Amino acid sequence: MHKHSLCLALLGFSALATAQDVEQRATQIEPKVIEWRRHFHQHPELSNREFETAKYIEKYLRGLGLEVQTGVAKTGVVAILDSGKPGPVVALRADMDGLPVLEQNDLPFRSKVTGEHNGNKVPVMHACGHDTHMAMLMGAAKILTDMKSELKGKVKFIFQPAEEGAPRGEVGGAEIMVKEGVLKKPDVDVVFGLHISADTDVGTVEYRHGGIMAAVDPFRIVIKGKQAHGAYPWLSVDPVTTAAQVIMGLQTIVSRELALTEDAAVITIGSIHGGNRSNIIPSEVELVGTIRTLNDPMRKHIYEALPRKAKAIAESMRAEVEIDLPLDYSYPVTFNDPALMDKMLPTLQRTAGPDKAKEVKAVTGAEDFSFFQKEVPGLYLFVGGKPLDLPKEQAPAHHTPEFKIDESGMKLGVKLLTNLTLDYMASSAK
């Protein structure tokens, strides 16, 4: 056999042996992953309040012998696995927070927890699958620690708080982690993240080159007019009818100014407040909404067009507007680096199976994982959590009281996080 062919054959044999090793280890640890997930599910905590969750994760990571840092972005936990050999730094991320949702399903380990959200007592539930994300990353941390001798470089395990958004008057999440230097010391080369999907078949991983989740930009428009008796509207400068025209006018930005054959975009008004009686035209009306875009040119266009439309319509009605854009937070596009996606696609196909790794269209939901991707190349993937015998249209939606997933889907997530790390290190070690 030619020397070069022999080397390739040996590499192929080594990769196969490693894949079989990961498969076996993932099978062995699966019961613990399920146990961890159920613990988190029964004890959810809201954004920036993940105190007990952080303690649980910290204790586990220290038990693996890892270097652990706590209190990152308030309640985040970061651990480093150092192979002792030169190579890249791979970051793996899971989010930690639950939602103010009252769980209504038949799970024996459903949440009965309450918490405080913006001054109100609320039920708390892991209604988006962050409990599974933490459990899968803990599983991968165990396997990678046990396979330390096969690593080349370092692994940084990032358990992030407040993905769902910090409470009113606070900051949090990935953006703050980045500002605090989570991608430094050691400097991260690449970051990988997963999200469980309740309407995707168990055993399937979904990916996309480029934008996979939208940028999100909340906004507020305050329309100021002149108050008058409802019986004499000609004495008013009516902010209510102006608001109606502004709402409809904003929709023409998407339908008439953006090339929707390239990417989707959304402008939604979710809140209208103004007036208190049927016979009084108020002096002002407040509109609050959200913008979702999948590429930067569209995002920039809407930033220019929204004030232009709102001000012109208001002026035509003799009213004035005040605009806050963005309102309180702003996430960039969750953007999968195309070159990295090409590089790691064989890992997805080998881990899930060629017919179980599927390229999908982008969604207009948002993820603050995008702040990590702004700094270093990264991939964000969806892992199936829907039972195979459940029709997709019957799958409970994320952020709802009925939300639940098939726990057998977590094994693939553990394997993906592990194999992405091993394969990236093997191909990128210096």
* CATH label of the domain that carries residue 280: 3.30.70.360
- Give the Cα-Cα-Cα angle 224, 230, 234 (nearest 5 degrees): 70
Structure tokens belonging to residue 91: 């970051």
Give yes or no for residue 16 having a pLDDT over 80: no
Q: Verify that 209 and 219 share a domain, yes or no.
A: no
Q: Verify that 87 and 178 share a domain, yes or no.
A: yes
> CA–CA separation, 99 vs 400, rounded Å?
10
> CA–CA separation, 46 vs 50, rounded Å?
6
Q: Verify that 127 and 38 share a domain, yes or no.
A: yes
pLDDT band at 18 (very low <50, low <70, confident <90, very high): confident
Give yes or no for residue 14 having a pLDDT over 80: no
Of 352, 94, 343, nearest to 205 (Cα)? 352
pLDDT band at 19 (very low <50, low <70, confident <90, very high): confident
Q: Verify that 252 and 269 share a domain, yes or no.
A: yes
> What is the pLDDT at residue 15?
61
Q: Verify that 379 and 393 share a domain, yes or no.
A: yes
> CA–CA separation, 205 vs 284, rounded Å?
49
> What is the pLDDT at residue 328?
86
For 74-89, the pLDDT digits (tens) are 999 999 999 999 999 9
Q: Verify that 96 and 155 share a domain, yes or no.
A: yes
Give yes or no for residue 219 having a pLDDT over 90: yes
The set of residues, in sequence order, having a beta carbon less than 8 Å from that of 12 and lying 6+ positions away, is none
- With a pLDDT cut of 70, the percent of the chain lying above it is 96
According to DSSP, the residues that pair with 266 across neighbouring strands are: 292
Positions marked active-site: 331, 407
Residue 416 lies in a domain: yes
Query: How many alpha carbons lie under 13 Å from residue 114 in its C-beta half-sphere?
Result: 4
Q: Verify that 295 and 408 share a domain, yes or no.
A: no
Last residue of a domain, which of 324, 355, 372? 324
Residue 282 lies in a domain: yes
Q: Verify that 31 and 62 share a domain, yes or no.
A: yes
> What is the pLDDT at residue 2?
52
Residue 188 lies in a domain: yes
pTM listed for this prediction: 0.92
Residue 33 lies in a domain: yes
CATH code: domain of residue 368: 3.40.630.10
State the DSSP string of 337-400: -HHHHHHHHHHHHHHH-GGGEEE---BS---TTHHHHHHS-EEEEEEEEE-TTS-GGGSPPTTS
Question: Which residue range forms the structural domain that includes residue 262?
Answer: 215-324
Asked whether 278 and 230 are in contact (CB, 8 A), the reply is yes
Region of 419 on the Ramachandran plot (φ > 0 left; ψ -120 to 50 alpha; else beta): alpha
Asked whether 224 and 320 are in contact (CB, 8 A), the reply is yes
Over range 308-313, report the average pLDDT. Answer: 98
Please measure the distance between the N-terminal and C-terminal CA atoms of the chain and give it in whole angstroms. 28
Residue 10 lies in a domain: no
Q: Verify that 128 and 240 share a domain, yes or no.
A: no
Listed as own residue / partner, the contacts of 55-64 with beta carbons closer than 8 Å and 24 or more positions apart are 57/96, 57/134, 57/138, 57/159, 60/36, 60/138, 61/138, 61/141, 61/157, 64/141, 64/142, 64/145
Residue 5 lies in a domain: no
For 247-271, the pLDDT digits (tens) are 999 999 999 999 999 999 999 999 9
Last residue of a domain, which of 281, 296, 324? 324
> What is the pLDDT at residue 7?
46
Cα–Cα distances in angstroms (integers) from residue 8 to residues 1, 2, 4, 5, 22, in the given order: 11, 10, 6, 5, 21
- Cβ atoms within 10 A of the Cβ of 40, count? 27
Crossing angle between the packed helical segments 3-42 and 130-146, to the nearest 10 degrees: 140
Structure tokens belonging to residue 73: 């972005």
Residue 360 lies in a domain: yes
Q: Verify that 243 and 312 share a domain, yes or no.
A: yes
Q: Verify that 297 and 350 share a domain, yes or no.
A: no
* Average pLDDT of the residues of the chain: 95
Over range 140-162, report the average pLDDT. Answer: 98
Q: Verify that 357 and 225 share a domain, yes or no.
A: no
State the DSSP string of 63-80: HTT-EEEEEETTTEEEEE
Count of domains in the chain?
2
Last residue of a domain, which of 291, 324, 357? 324
Residue 9 lies in a domain: no
